[in-house]
Amino acid sequence: MCDENLQTQKLFERVLRHRNQHDVGFASSSYEAVEKMVERRPDVIFQDLFIPGADGFEFFKKIKTHPATSSIPIVIHTVVPLDQMTRLQLKRMKRDVQYQGFVHFPIGASELNRIISDALKYGAVRTEKWIPPKA
């Protein structure tokens, strides 16, 4: 999960702890997030649209074009109210690059749990094995 908001992180931890089979990793900057995602190959990526250190749309494109992370489903989220232009960018991005979903926080634990389940089902179909290039 790429989000610096501690309340959002705690919600994810609480929900994932009850699911038992999932570890959760957090990154508070885009630089840290890319490194962790390439190294750990998560089942699902939750990305804050307004991530520190990067434009959320550019960061998303970076994740979707990297061979290690391109097949991982991404759920974009934010607590920030969206303006008309941002909504249009999200709509265009969903059509062009196909992210898994969008969540506007705050939401409850049961809804987040459903979103995680849906994203995992989607990812099980799409995930490919990535082999890093030899040095």
Whether the per-residue pLDDT at 129 is higher than 50: the answer is: no
Predicted model pTM: 0.76
Whether the per-residue pLDDT at 2 is higher than 70: the answer is: no
Name the strands in the sheet holding 101-104, side by side, starting at the edge strand that comes first in the sequence: 45-48, 74-78, 101-104
7 class by beta-carbon count within 10 Å (0-12 exposed, 13-18 middle, 19+ buried): exposed
Q: What is the model's pLDDT at position 127?
A: 46
Read off the pLDDT band of 22 (50, 70, 90).
Answer: low
Give Cα separations from 100 to 6, 44, 96, 123 (angstroms): 23, 9, 12, 9
For residue 118, give the 3-state DSSP assignment.
helix
Whether the per-residue pLDDT at 132 is higher than 50: the answer is: no
Beta bridge partners of 102: 76
Class of domain 6-126: alpha beta
Q: What is the pLDDT of residues 39-95, one digit of tens each?
A: 888 888 888 888 777 788 888 888 888 888 888 888 888 888 889 998 888 888 777
Read off the pLDDT band of 11 (50, 70, 90).
Answer: confident
Q: What is the model's pLDDT at position 75?
A: 85
